[in-house]
Amino acid sequence: MHIPDGFLDVKSCVTTGVLGIGAVAYSLRKTRLTLSRPEVPKIALIGAFIFAAQMLNFPIAGATSGHFLGGAMASILFGPAVGVVIMSAVLIIQALIFQDGGLTVLGANIICTGVIGSYVGYGVYRLGVKWLRGHATKAVSFIAAWCSIVSASCGVAILLAWSGTFSLGVALQAMAGWHSLIGVGEGLITAMVVAYLTERNVAFDGIPSKKEARLS
């Protein structure tokens, strides 16, 4: 859901730019304090996967584009702060090298796909795991990923409406409508990755291992 240059007005670009810088700075500081060295290769691998998956996007009438997001997956595996860092790095590379998403709206893209996508996905996942006591991890991962991508698309729609580019109704219908369908695919991919890692007892921030799930 990359927003191109020219879709947001000056006030939206400046506001989201400042918020985006603040979010990335906070996330980098938090990851330096909490991230362990063995996790770095895992983060790089997941980041590369998200980058490749996001490059496959298609235009959406009345808004921007639709594609796999990955924020929920990254935040479930490593926590939301690392999720924001991964998503921001992907967005910056795409904007600078591949002209996929504008430079003046980079802050908006980081806020919507990075911050909203990561924190909503992580929050839904943690609530679901706590409520179900570690069981039904696949279902919780699916729901978290679906909520992540739909909420991020709603954030894009609100910014487009705030800038006067489209009416809120048109933007929401285009973005949330399409991404509720894309979210099904995102949910399935996220659930499969989480299930695969759980079955193999791979240690990640938010995933209980198969042994831990049985004991809970």
Reported confidence tier of residue 207, pLDDT bands at 50, 70, 90? low
1 found inside a domain: no
Residue 70 inside a domain? The answer is: yes
Is 101 inside a domain boundary? yes
128 touches 79 (CB < 8 A): no
The continuous run of DSSP H or E covering 43 comes out as helix 39-54
Between CA 186 and CA 105 the distance in angstroms is 24
HSE-CB at 18 with a 13 A cutoff on CA atoms is: 5
Q: What is the CATH number of the domain that holds 74?
A: 1.10.1760.20
Instruction: Report if residue 124 sits inside a domain.
Output: yes
- The structure's pTM equals 0.87
Number of domains in the chain: 1
Which of these, 34, 48, 72, lies nearest to 194 by C-alpha position?
Answer: 72
User: For residue 50, is it within any domain?
Assistant: yes
Residues 25-52, mean pLDDT to the nearest whole number: 86
pLDDT in tens, 136-145: 788 999 999 9
Q: How confident is the model at residue 215 (pLDDT cuts 50, 70, 90)?
A: very low
Token output for 18: 């400042």
Give the residue, 203 or 212, on which the prediction is more confident. Answer: 203
Domain of residue 14 covers 10-215
Does 4 map to a domain? Answer: no
The predicted-structure confidence for 126-176, as pLDDT tens digits, reads as follows 999 888 876 678 899 999 999 999 999 999 999 999 999 989 998 898 888
Class of residue 161 by CB neighbours under 10 A (exposed 0-12, middle 13-18, buried 19+): middle
